[in-house]
Amino acid sequence: MPDLSDRIRSLTPEQQELLHRRLQQQERSEVESQTGQDSFATIASRPRKMDFSLFFFSADGTADSHERYKLLIESARFADRNGFKAVWTPERHFQPFGGLYPNPAVLSAALAMATENVQIRAGSVVLPLHSPVRVAEDWALVDNLSRGRVAISFATGWHQHDYVIAPHAYDDRRERMFRDIQIVRRLWAGHAVELPGVDSKKMLVKTLPRPIQPELPFWVTVTSPSTWSRAGEIGANVLTAFVGNTPEDLRRQILDYRRARLENGHDPRTGIVSVMLHTYVGSDLGGIRDKVREPLKRYLESFIDQFRPLMKDGLGDASSHEMQSLLDFAFERYFDDSSLLGTPEKCMAMLSRLSNAGVNEAACLIDFGLSLDDTMASLELLAALRQTLHREIVSGKEELTR
């Protein structure tokens, strides 16, 4: 009679994979029965359902066009029709990079009228620049217009030029953000909040209109390890970018986040981790690389230009050999390791790595300089990829329950 090793080797690759997944499930069940809770490593690395959203952060804030927002509206309508989870719009000020988006609440009001199903998210509101009262009021209004479909990711911002709006708030912007998140949430829930008024007199404030959603879905935009933990402590979801990280780095950060959730009374298995990735899906890898190279390099150059006013010694001329070499290197890094730029097969491999790291959602940044027609054609393939991934997850769950 063949031993167990021989029997396993005789299985097809598909049967071996199914056996491996069933053994993992059995191991998780044993851990849960012994400890009463999932192990942190299992929680962080468990493959998850992957949602898809569309993310906007256009570099073309100075474009001379009467249809600057056509891509946003048409893409949002496409997402609405094709089962995407959400559409994100950012808050940016005084820079060409992202300059189409100074007020996500205004744009979200327009999206509320153009869509019926997709969640409408700010990615992000730079909270220290604003009164938390106005944030609660504005977004409650959009929540009504959208019939309960808004969500907000809160961020500190970083560019000193942005803080001309609220220069007093720059130095302690991180603590202000976390403090004011709680104020926004309390106002959203209908509580009266005591705030300073004229002559420093305290006033009890309740905001109107009342939102449709009784509780505000909220994210924190994270760029540092400590912010991952703070987000977990307050029970926030997380929005981040897959830049300068490996899947293993991301897995460790998600582990810290879910541990912080558990230690502060939040279910570690919940909490959405949304990762922004530059996205363009096509059928030919070489053709895709050629199509996206120059638009993405211009996008990266515009991103780098934000730092020029903050650097004493400057960053060098954009047309210099050194800068072009830097942009070429950055493009290759993005294309190969940090994006959904490629064929469905290449993108599926990236999504699998992110899912195994514990990511819940791919926030697909699509407005980095391609034409409307090219972007919409890519969205068709992205929608098909989303459906394929969903079917595989459903099929895998059904196999495991047999």
Tell me the C-alpha distance between 170 and 245, whole Å.
27
Strand residues in 83-128 grouped as ranges (E): 86-89, 119-126
* CB of 128 closer than 8 Å to CB of 177: yes
Tell me the C-alpha distance between 43 and 254, whole Å.
9
Residue 160: other Cβ atoms inside 10 A? 11
Tell me the C-alpha distance between 366 and 53, whole Å.
10
Instruction: Give me the pLDDT at residue 90, please.
Output: 96
Cα angle 201, 207, 211 (rounded to 5 degrees) comes to 165
CA distances from 119 to 7, 21, 194, 364 (A): 49, 33, 31, 14
Residue 181: other Cβ atoms inside 10 A? 23
* CB of 362 closer than 8 Å to CB of 275: yes
Dihedral sign from CA coordinates of 222, 225, 230, 236: positive
* CB of 85 closer than 8 Å to CB of 119: yes
Q: What residues pair up with 52 in beta bridges, in sequence order?
A: 362
Tell me the C-alpha distance between 315 and 330, whole Å.
15
* Residue found by looking up tokens 């830049």 in the block: 243
Q: What is the pLDDT along the chain (402 residues), one digit of tens a residue?
A: 444 445 545 656 555 555 545 544 544 443 344 334 445 555 544 556 799 999 998 767 666 677 899 999 999 999 999 999 999 999 999 887 778 999 999 999 999 999 999 999 999 999 999 999 999 999 999 999 999 999 999 999 988 889 999 999 999 999 999 999 999 999 999 999 999 999 989 999 999 999 999 999 999 999 888 899 999 999 999 999 987 778 899 999 999 999 999 999 999 999 999 999 999 999 999 999 999 999 999 888 877 665 555 555 555 565 677 778 888 888 998 899 999 999 999 999 999 999 999 999 999 999 999 999 999 999 999 999 999 988 876 555 544 445
Strand residues in 222-357 grouped as ranges (E): 237-241, 273-281, 340-342
* CB of 226 closer than 8 Å to CB of 236: no
> Is the bond into 209 cis (omega within 30 degrees of 0)?
yes
Q: How confident is the model over 256-300, as pLDDT tens digits?
A: 999 999 999 999 999 999 999 999 999 999 999 999 999 999 888
Closest-CA residue to 110 (of 150, 154, 161, 164) = 150
For domain 42-296+340-400, is the CATH number 3.20.20.30?
yes
Q: How far apart are the first and last CA of the chain?
A: 27
* Residue found by looking up tokens 């990511």 in the block: 359
Closest-CA residue to 59 (of 359, 300, 308) = 300
Q: Write the burial class of residue 143 (CB in 10 Å: 0-12 exposed, 13-18 middle, 19+ buried).
A: buried
At residue 320, the 3 state secondary structure works out as coil
Strands 51-55 and 86-89: parallel
Instruction: Give me the pLDDT at residue 224, please.
Output: 87
Instruction: Give me the pLDDT at residue 324, please.
Output: 81
Instruction: Give me the pLDDT at residue 66, please.
Output: 75
CA distances from 323 to 246, 298, 319 (A): 25, 12, 7
Task: Give the amino acid at 398.
Answer: E
Q: How many helices (H) and strands (E) does the chain have?
A: 13, 11
Tell me the C-alpha distance between 402 and 398, whole Å.
7
Which tokens sit at 130? 């604003």
Q: What are the domain boundaries of the chain? A: 42-296+340-400
* Residue found by looking up tokens 């079917």 in the block: 391
